[in-house]
């Protein structure tokens, strides 16, 4: 699998957030997609700490809506900084 570049990261993170916030949310599909992104990110030194937490904390976000909102807002703010 190829290392992740910034364009891939933006695309994949937006896709994961859209899945999570969608009306029908398949947790296993989200986790599989997150695992693929995690594998790509492991080859990229530029991955932000926030991204790693987002990929690992789905269970916490599902239990604690406030935590989830803060975490997703952080990712969206990070993505907004990209062109």
What residue ranges do the domains of the chain occupy? 6-80
| pLDDT tens, the chain, 83 aa long | 455 677 888 899 999 999 999 888 899 999 999 998 888 777 665 567 888 899 999 999 999 999 999 999 988 888 887 65
**Tokens representing residue 28 in the block:** 């296993």
b (16+ CB within 10 A) / e for 31-44? eebbeebeebbeee
Q: What is the pTM of this model?
A: 0.67
Separation CA 58–CA 83 (nearest Å): 27
C-alpha distance from residue 12 to each of 16, 64, 75 (Å)? 6, 23, 12
């Amino acid at each position: 699998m190829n290392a992740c570049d910034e364009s891939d990261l933006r695309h994949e993170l937006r896709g994961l957030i859209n899945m999570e916030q969608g009306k029908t949310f398949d947790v296993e599909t989200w986790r599989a997609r997150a695992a693929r992104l995690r594998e790509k990110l492991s080859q990229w030194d530029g991955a932000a700490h926030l991204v790693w937490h987002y990929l690992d904390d789905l269970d916490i976000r599902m239990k604690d809506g406030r935590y989830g909102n803060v975490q997703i807002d952080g990712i969206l703010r990070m993505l907004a900084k990209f062109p």
